[in-house]
């Protein structure tokens, strides 16, 4: 592996943290080139027919990460019982199980949601899997998008939510890209469901409009796939 890095004409990476480590270990040209998202395409309004029929006339809170322990969906479920009744009565909680989900974890999540449905009349929807355009449609029409992973890099799902003008809560992780996630969304610290519930209530009632504006601008500038791939093409040319 060391030989490969030393012989490389250049090394690219998708995060500043990785670039810093490469520079510390090897004397090689390195450049930050993010994966990026299809920003211009996401900006186009998707047809609401792509939503599940049960959501056509409903407000909903969207959790787009799959049922895996690292994404900490369990925390989001636990926070629901601390929400004001008004939010529970007016919103559906939407989740995506995913193709390669953890079956034991998914079973626990579903049992908790069933219990909340019985005890608090919580309405929820678990989608097995959705297409890319369907995902964008869910972002565009959500009252709020929530992602609470224990660990993450620069999640494209978060960038897509931001490009879709969706209010967003993400975990406040140490290596988040500052260009993309500073003053562009609300960040959640720790693992306390009551604290998350308070942040959800703040987001639903009074999400700062400046965060939405900043999110669009920053994703277009720092998370746009066409711009990032042009950087890669230029790098190929000079090599």
Q: Whole-angstrom Cα distance, residue 217 to residue 226?
A: 15
How many domains does the chain contain in total? 2
Q: Whole-angstrom Cα distance, residue 224 to residue 218?
A: 9
Handedness of CA 129, 135, 141, 147 (dihedral sign): positive
Q: Is the same domain home to 50 and 25?
A: no
Q: Is the same domain home to 9 and 115?
A: no
Of 124, 113, 133, the residue nearest 62 (C-alpha): 124
The residue whose two tokens read 């004397």 is 27
Residue-range definition of the domain harbouring residue 32: 2-36+228-238
Q: Is the same domain home to 26 and 136?
A: no
Q: Is the same domain home to 26 and 85?
A: no
Q: Is the same domain home to 176 and 217?
A: yes
Q: Is the same domain home to 202 and 134?
A: yes
Q: Whole-angstrom Cα distance, residue 189 to residue 170?
A: 9
Q: Is the same domain home to 209 and 194?
A: yes
For position 34, what pLDDT does the model report?
Answer: 86
For position 56, what pLDDT does the model report?
Answer: 83
CATH code where residue 198 lies: 3.40.50.2000
Does residue 200 contact residue 87 with C-beta atoms inside 8 Å? Answer: yes
Q: Is the same domain home to 100 and 206?
A: yes
Model confidence, pTM? 0.92
Q: Is the same domain home to 30 and 120?
A: no
Q: Is the same domain home to 153 and 46?
A: yes
Q: Is the same domain home to 129 and 52?
A: yes
Q: Is the same domain home to 116 and 177?
A: yes
Q: What is the pLDDT along the chain (239 residues), one digit of tens a residue?
A: 666 777 888 888 887 778 888 888 888 888 888 899 999 999 999 999 999 999 988 999 999 999 999 999 999 999 999 999 999 999 999 999 998 889 999 999 999 999 999 999 999 999 999 999 999 999 999 999 999 999 988 899 999 999 999 999 999 998 889 999 999 999 999 999 999 999 999 999 999 999 999 999 999 999 999 999 998 898 888 87
Q: Whole-angstrom Cα distance, residue 26 to residue 20?
A: 10
């Amino acid at each position: 592996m060391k030989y490969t890095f030393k012989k490389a004409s250049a090394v690219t990476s998708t995060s500043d943290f990785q670039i810093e480590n490469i520079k510390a270990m090897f004397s090689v040209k390195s450049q930050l080139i993010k994966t990026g998202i299809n920003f211009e395409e996401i900006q186009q309004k998707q047809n609401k027919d792509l939503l599940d029929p049960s959501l056509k006339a409903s407000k909903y809170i969207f959790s787009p990460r799959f049922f895996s322990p690292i994404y900490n969906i369990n925390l989001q479920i636990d926070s629901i019982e601390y929400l004001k009744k008004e939010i529970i009565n007016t919103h559906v909680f939407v989740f995506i199980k995913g193709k390669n989900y953890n079956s034991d974890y998914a079973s626990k999540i579903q049992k908790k949601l069933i219990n909340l449905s019985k005890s608090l009349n919580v309405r929820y929807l678990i989608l097995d899997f959705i297409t890319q355009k369907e995902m964008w449609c869910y972002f565009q029409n959500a009252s709020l998008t929530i992602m609470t992973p224990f660990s993450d890099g620069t999640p494209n799902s978060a960038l897509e939510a931001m490009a879709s003008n969706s209010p967003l809560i993400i975990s406040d992780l140490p290596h988040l890209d500052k260009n993309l996630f500073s003053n562009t969304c609300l960040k959640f610290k720790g693992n306390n469901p009551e604290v998350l519930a308070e942040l959800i209530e703040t987001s639903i009632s009074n999400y700062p409009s400046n965060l939405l504006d900043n999110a669009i601008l920053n994703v277009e500038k720092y998370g746009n796939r066409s711009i990032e791939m042009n950087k890669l093409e230029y790098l190929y040319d000079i090599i």
